[in-house]
Structures are given as C-alpha cells and as structure tokens.
Structure 1
C-alpha cells in the first residue's frame, strides 16, 4: 500500500514540499458526505461527468445518487475501491492516458486541489479540454490568493512527485494558455471554485 493509499484511510495526511513546507490535507472532508462548498460544483453537473482524482469518491457517488452519469478516475487502487463501496463507478486510470468517453464528457471535476496533478496546470487543463465535448465545462477548486507554484512533493516517506498549486488570483493566464474561458468564480469559506468553458 502506498503512502497515499494509507492516507485515504487515515485521519491525517501531510503533503511535504521539497522546500520543507508541510501542508495538512483534509482527508476527513474527502471521506465525509459532500458539504456546502461541494454543492457549488455538484449543482452545475447536469450531464456525464468525469471526476478526475476522485479520491474516496464523495462527489462521484453523490452525482450517481442524483441520477447524473459519473465516472471517477484515480491512480490509487484504494481510492477506486472506496468510491465503488460508496456506490460510485470508478476506474484506476491516469488522466494523461487513454480514457473512456474522450471528447464526449459534458463536465469534468478537479476538486480538492487536483488542479495540481502532474505539476503543470496548463498541460492538465489542455488534456481535460480534449476530454470534454464541445461546450463542455471543467469545474476546478483553487486556493485563495495568487499562488502559482510548481513543486516536488511527497506523502509520508513515499517517492517525490510533481505537483502544482494554483490560486484563484492566478487563474486568468493559466486558463488563457489552456484555451479555456472563465465562466464564473465563487467561494465558500476558504475554498474557491471556478468553471472553465471549452
């Protein structure tokens, strides 16, 4: 079991940056039922939705319960298992490799900091844009402020991997570079969200 798989089952998880900074990840929220902040994304999903980096599946399972076709993908086998146990459909997949329904998804989710996947938000958003149907939308959770960093990080004593952090104030140039238009931005407490339109 990888450190991330173990973290999904733990009450605490710390992301360590190569700089030495340590960020506690909200694993308890990931495993809980969707909250009010999550509703800012969930209520916008009116058609087939791809939940990228679905973790333990709270969003995938909730969309399924609401009758919205949803597929969670994650590189973690534990995440896939937990999503299925909650009633969601999930596959162990890397977003940068071949996926079901390419070019036909109406919505894609990048919640819980998953804009950081791969360490390059522009490359990730370009890939997600290719997964969407014409007019499709990606719903992204962002950090507050203007943070825009590309780091090497690890969880526990696991291997280092590339990750990025993106704040709502730094979104404009990233969206432009990915050929996406900002539809709206919103906040709930310290959580910030945006919708990007293909």
Structure 2
C-alpha cells in the first residue's frame, strides 16, 4: 500500500512526538489539514498500565503483538506478568522507552516483515492505532496474516460513531504548519470497525473508563495462514543490541 511508507516516515521523524515521549507529557496533537486538532494522551501512554489497560490485557490469549506500542506500558506490563510479548513501533524514541521499561520491542512498521507472522495468538491495536495507514481494511487484512488461525484482535475504537480518514500531522503546542509531513490516518468507532471486518467474528464490545474496545476473532484458515511470509531470523532493537529470533517462537530471545 503506497501510503504506508509515508505514514511510517512521517510519524517516526515527528520531533514533537519524540520530544513529548522524552518529557513524559504533552501537549501533543494530531492536526488535520483543515487545522482541527485531536489531543494525544501522552501522559497516560507514558504512565504504567492502568486499570482499563489491565482489563484489556487480562483478555489477551497466548503470545501478544502490540502494534504501535508507543512508550511501552502494555508491553512492559505483559512482560512483568511473564507473558510472551513483542511491541513494534516506527518511532525510535517509543521503542527505546519500551526497552528501558523491560519490554521487548522492535522499530518496525506493521506492514513490514515481522517475527512470528501467522503465529501470534493476540494482536493489540490500542490508543487509536486502528487508524495506522489510513486504510482500516488493509490494516485488518495485515493483522489477519500476523495472527494464527482463530487468533484474537483487540482494538480500541473512538467513543463516538465516526468513520473518518484524513491527512494529519503530529504537532506540539508551538509547531508551525510546516513542522512535519502530513500522513494518512483514520478514526473509527466500533460500528465502523465492524463494517470493515470481513473475515472476522466479533466476540466482544465494551466501554470502560471513558474508552471503547472491540474484540474480533480471525476466521483465517490454516491453509491461508501457511502462506504468510516467514519471519526474519534477526532484528535490531533501538538500543542497537541484536537479538536472535527463534524459528519456533514469535518473540525475540531474552
């Protein structure tokens, strides 16, 4: 999909985002081309997993891939529970912070080859990450390839009933309109997500703590999943330490 490299490059080089993660707080926004601002919850992302997060993590099955893991609160919480987990993010600052919290993470786009393709039991798309790439159907198709047959997707959706695609920038409080490149993003409520979820079985919807979630189970067959691209044997995390990938395990050896 042609928009994916632009999305990854723009977000990964968004200096306001990296600076906010280093500070541990905002203000930080996604700004549409028409000037509308969506506040980003940097403080919550940089904190430890809260009660709402932990409820989501309690629903995870088997090995967990956190797509767009940000500063790593969910990966760190799962790692502390002894779960097999991997976070991926296109931002070096996000991956660096995840690793410092004790969670395994790779600087990688979800649309690039990933360890354990076709073998993950659960994929997380939290904190609005259902919007990655600006094409929800393409993202859902990609997640289906990453999951094992019958695997579980847990996605956080917008509280409002919205189905929006837009070009956005990551901006801080003083950024000019030329600070960072625009990239495609999407905002979906649960009803919109379910409209795009061909080949998925809805298995749960809930709202708690002012946040909204949906759980979907992949209907992908073993025959279809067997064609997924084999994972690379090695990858480098932001600390520049190389970790070998086990052919039998979807996460980096620790």
TM-score when normalising by structure 1: 0.95
2:75 matched residue in structure 1: 60
Q: How far has the Cα of 1:7 moved from its partner?
A: 2.6
Question: In 2, Cα distance between the equivalents of 1:143 and 1:40?
Answer: 18
Q: How far has the Cα of 1:8 moved from its partner?
A: 1.9
TM-score when normalising by structure 2: 0.75
Alignment of 1:96-111 (within 5 A): 96-111=111-126
2:34 matched residue in structure 1: 19
Q: How far has the Cα of 1:171 moved from its partner?
A: 2.4
Question: What CA RMSD, in Å, does the superposition of the two structures yield over aligned residues?
Answer: 1.1
**Residues 45, 68 of structure 1: 8 Å contact kept:** no
Question: In 2, Cα distance between the equivalents of 1:122 and 1:33?
Answer: 31
**Residues 105, 131 of structure 1: 8 Å contact kept:** yes
Would you say how many aligned residue pairs link Structure 1 and Structure 2? 196
Q: How far has the Cα of 1:40 moved from its partner?
A: 2.8
**Residues 15, 22 of structure 1: 8 Å contact kept:** yes
Q: 1:6 aligns with which of 13, 19, 33?
A: 19
Q: How far has the Cα of 1:70 moved from its partner?
A: 0.3
Further displaced range: 160-169 or 102-111: 160-169
Q: 1:181 aligns with which of 178, 190, 201?
A: 201
Match of 1:9, SS state, is helix
1:112 matched residue in structure 2: 127
**Residues 145, 170 of structure 1: 8 Å contact kept:** no
Deviations along 1:23-45, one digit per CA (max 9) or x if unpaired, are 11000000111112112320012
Question: In 2, Cα distance between the equivalents of 1:75 and 1:148?
Answer: 24
